[in-house]
Structures are given as structure tokens and as C-alpha cells.
Amino acid sequence: MKYMDYAATTPPHPEVARTIAEVMSLHYGNPSSLHILGEQSEQLLKKAREVCAGVLQVKPSEIIITSGASESNNAAIKGAALQFMNRGKHLITTAIEHPSVYECCKQLESLGWNVTYLSVNHEGTVTPEQVCAAVQDDTVLVSVMHVNNETGSINPVQEIGKQLKVQHPRVLFHVDGVQGFGKLPLSLQASGIDMYSLSAHKFRGPKGIGLLYVREGIKLQPLLAGGSQEGGRRAGTENIPYIVGMAKALRLAKEEQAQVAERLRHLRKVLIDGIAAIPKLVLNSPPDGAPHIIHFSCPGMKAEAMLHMLEEDGFLVSTRSACSSKKSEPSRILLAMGKSVEEASSGIRVSLGEEHTEQDIQQFLAALQSAVTRQEDLKGRG
């Protein structure tokens, strides 16, 4: 069975799994305890934070450990909205954000905030000029994802950040970096990015752990009140094994980024060329999208049936993002890109990782052609 759903989650790196098991067995002390076991855990936490900060080229004090990107995104958006209400109650985001950003903004709308949802072009991106033009006197925050989790489209977040900081320096800029990290280079310091969300299981770390970079000097209202962990910015006993595992996965992903991205770009091109050669399919990912995500539609066919046919032939893919895969309505992302309801209802996402080879792609394309033919035969009989 070939797993081709890396955008949903990645298999843990063997070194990461070993590290987590070792830390869980040996270092179970609460890092807030004053005895020797607590001090050992505190030292591991400190070292892991330094590793994460070093990889992102920021300060350790600018890293908040969270339970994953959904919490990081909520903490950034709601934390900023609540902290800076005196500046205004207007937020800007895009129509194609992950649900943890999109629904967070919807929640704030219901509580009295005004939100501008920027429309995207046919490739699923926004421009820096579009973002800056939407800023109002009462705008507090702009949140734009780096790489779209369904189609792999890449937003120019570096250019957006730079222009935003020149034209509107008081407006905070948050980037959901979940699908971009480990695949695309990005300098937080040189991009005007104030906050940046990551989730460890997207780069071969454990599930249930992530981080939020918050530029020094920015204060957020904490979502979780209680203890003084994370400098009072996020209460709760720290999950030391997973934090150490995340730090290792983060470092490995950064070290392997250029090599992995080059391999995946080649495989992506082979896959895109193969999909384009099957007349019934419509490619939704832009040609210059992220190297690991390819999305296409099968108009007139049922995406779920297509998915299960591919599974019978040994390939695991998804119909859209994992967080939305059980919804029956058309993809919000594809509709925003101007796709028809039929196209938005019949999408298949293939997302690749380090394990895949060109032979895997060729075998997948053969299975895909077979599935399309069987679907056409079924329609003919109907």
C-alpha cells in the first residue's frame, strides 16, 4: 500500500520516534517541579526551544509551544484581536484559509469583529497590493497562509509582509506556515512576519504538538489561562517528549529541505504530465505550486468512489484536506478559485513525501487511468 496523503499527516521520522520513546521513559518529571527530575525536564525543554528557535532563526523567547497549528492559529488571531481591541475590530484574511483560521475569523465575526475575506485568483493566491488595499484605519491583523493545504498554491507571503510593514507598520501579520515549512525557504526576520504557525506532524514529528512564533514585543491575550508556563502565554504542563521530538523533526526537515524539495518537484511534474494526459481529469494545482501537493477534479465522477478504487489498487489519497474530508458539500477552496460546483465536488488530492519514487508515480498513474475507465463504464451502464 502506498501512502500518498502527506499533506494530511506524515509518518514519524524513525529518529524522532526513538527520541520520543527515550525521553518518555527517562524524563517524566514535570518541568515546573523543583526536584532533580523536574530540573532535568526543564533543561530538555530549554534545549528543545533553542533548537526550534535556531532552525527558524529567531529568539527562544519568541517561541510559544502549542498543541498544534489549530491552536497556534487561534492563539495568534484571537490573541491579537482581544489584545488590540483599542486599535479597532477589523481583520483581513483570504477565502482559502485552513478551517482553523477561517472558522476562527467567523467566530470573531459573531462577536462583533469585521472580517475581510480576500478573493483569490484562478490559481488560488492573493497579491501584496490586494492585501494592502484592504487595510482600514481599524485593521488589527492580516492572516495569510503560505501554502494552501488542498491545492498547493503558494501565496507571496514575503512580499506581502514587506509591503504591509512599509505601508501599514502597526498592522500585525500572521502566516499559517504548516504546509510550507520543510518544502519552501522562508525567512521570518526578512519578511515582516509577526507570527508564524507550525504543526509537528506535518514534518515527520508527533501529532498533538506545534509552535507559534511571536515577534518580540508583541503581547497576545492567552487562550489558556492558568499556570505560568510559556511565560504566562499558554498555561498547561509541557509535553516534554513531544516537544523534544518536534525539535528534532524540525531540525531534520530544515537540513533536508533543499534536497527533498528538488526530488518532489521532479515527481510532481511527472504526475502533473500524467494527469494532463487523461482527458476526463481537470488539474487544479498551479504549475508552480508547492512541490508535494497535486490536486485534480474528476467532473461527472464521485470523488469518494474514485478514492476507494485507488485504495483497492494500493494507493491512499484524499478528496481534500483532512480537516474537511468528511464534509459532503463542494470544496470551499475550489469554489473560491472559480471552479464549477461539479469540479469542486469531485476533487482528489495527492500529496507526496520522501519515500516516493518515479516508479510509484507511474504505477499510480496507471491505477488512476484504470479508475477513470471503470467510472466511465459504470456511467455507461447507468
> Could you read off the pLDDT tens digit of each residue along the chain, which spans 382 residues?
999 999 999 999 999 999 999 999 999 999 999 999 999 999 999 999 999 999 999 999 999 999 999 999 999 999 999 999 999 999 999 999 999 999 999 999 999 999 999 999 999 999 999 999 999 999 999 999 999 999 999 999 999 999 999 999 999 999 999 999 999 999 999 999 999 999 999 999 999 999 999 999 999 999 999 989 999 999 999 999 999 999 999 999 999 999 999 999 999 999 999 999 999 899 999 999 999 999 999 999 888 899 999 999 999 999 865 555 556 689 999 999 999 999 999 999 999 999 999 999 999 999 999 999 988 887 766 5
Domains of the chain: 2-7+257-380 (3.90.1150.10), 61-229 (3.40.640.10)
User: pTM to 2 decimals?
Assistant: 0.95
Nearest alpha carbon to residue 45 among 275, 185, 208, 241: 241
88: CB partners within 8 A, 6+ apart: 136, 137, 138, 139, 140
The reply to whether 104 belongs to the active site is no
Q: Choose the catalytic residue: 52, 105, 132, 323.
A: 323
